[in-house]
Amino acid sequence: MGRHFGRRRFLTVAAVAAAGAAVSFLPNPFAADDEKRNENVFFWKGVALGSGAELRLFGVDDRQAADLVNKVLAEVARLEKMFSLYREDSLISRLNRDGYLTSPPADFLELLSICRDMHTLTGGAFDPTVQVLWKLYADYFAAHPDAETPPPENSVKEALKRVGFDKLVFDDREIRFAEKGMGLSLNGIAQGYITDKVVALLKANGVPAALVDMGEIRGFDTNGRRTWNVGIRNPDDEEGVLANITMKDKAFATSGGYGTVMDKAGRFTHLFDPRTGVSTPRYKSMSVMADDAAVADALSTAFSVMDLPLIRSVAESRRLKVWLVMPDNTLNEIG
């Protein structure tokens, strides 16, 4: 089909994410010398959510660290059973198959509530009911691998009839689609949400400081001492970095059309505008720093198809920092 997977990958359970999986640690190669001298620092690197994952845990001993990482991986596996489109037995797969889901768990409802907030905030640019568009484009380019144009306009218009977060009804009794043939994808926010849940778990278990990377990044330090450095990748150079950003008790997420393309030439991407059905982002990449990883994740997705005045308005209202890599590869900072 010509699709290439980068940072944005569909959620999938890896063997290492099973509860009770063996855990190994490496010394943290990024720790400063005084950190290595004055406190315990553990660095874990493995696979979660279908891609590379990292944890840096500060102020815990060997036994605590091993127990904590196993708890984190068990939590990731639990949430993937809800949100993974690659699992036929997941709750989201059941919802998409049946059109409804009874007695949804609290985590599913919480994430949908965040989606509703992001949908309203972005004027509909963030909309997890775009799964029908994904299927349309994927099927079209599977059948026409050398196509240089998008699916026919009438097909896109027909698909858009089944897109719209207002057509998704949910409460503690049921989640239901208002239109037959709708589908839900939480890939634009679930990595961030799971990152936030991991942070909450670590804090609840008394971890004083940690850096969590589950596809989206969030760092915290209860003593307020540490800052973290994150880089914005150069879309034109896989090894290049356009800017290094300092982060303190924040979350950071990046979306780029280059992460997953639908056609061989890379003209059409996984970043759909749910209002028009267009799959060509306005910018090469979007990076967002926010208090929560779910918000950073969702807005980095939505901003990819929004104009600059609206991005500025949202950034100001939520006190965000935003970095846009423009079509000419220049970096535009907002906030």
Q: Where residue 50 falls among pLDDT bands split at 50, 70, 90? A: confident
Q: Where residue 334 falls among pLDDT bands split at 50, 70, 90? A: very high
Q: Read off the pLDDT of residues 190-228 as tens digits, 9 standing for 90 and up.
A: 999 999 999 999 999 999 999 999 989 999 999 988 998
CA distances from 57 to 25, 33, 73, 198 (A): 10, 16, 14, 12
Q: Read off the pLDDT of residues 152-200 as tens digits, 9 standing for 90 and up.
A: 999 999 999 999 999 999 999 999 999 999 999 999 999 999 999 999 9
Determine phi and psi for 37, rounding to 5 degrees: -80, -35
Q: Is the model more confident about 50 or about 316?
A: 316
Percent of the chain with pLDDT over 70: 87
- What pLDDT shows up at residue 323? 96
Judged on CB neighbours under 10 Å (0-12, 13-18, 19+), 223 is exposed
Q: Read off the pLDDT of residues 122-152 as tens digits, 9 standing for 90 and up.
A: 999 999 999 999 999 889 888 988 888 999 9
Largest CA distance in the chain: 65
Residue type, 309: P
For the cut 80, the answer to whether the pLDDT of residue 9 exceeds it is no
Q: How many other CB atoms sit within 10 Å of the CB of residue 280?
A: 14
Please provide the DSSP assignment of 183-200 as one string.
Answer: ----TTTHHHHHHHHHHH
- What pLDDT shows up at residue 66? 93
pTM: 0.87
Determine phi and psi for 54, rounding to 5 degrees: -140, 145
- What pLDDT shows up at residue 177? 98
Mean pLDDT computed over every residue of the chain? 86
Q: Read off the pLDDT of residues 219-255 as tens digits, 9 standing for 90 and up.
A: 999 998 899 889 898 888 878 889 999 999 999 999 8
Over residues 21-28, the mean pLDDT reads: 34
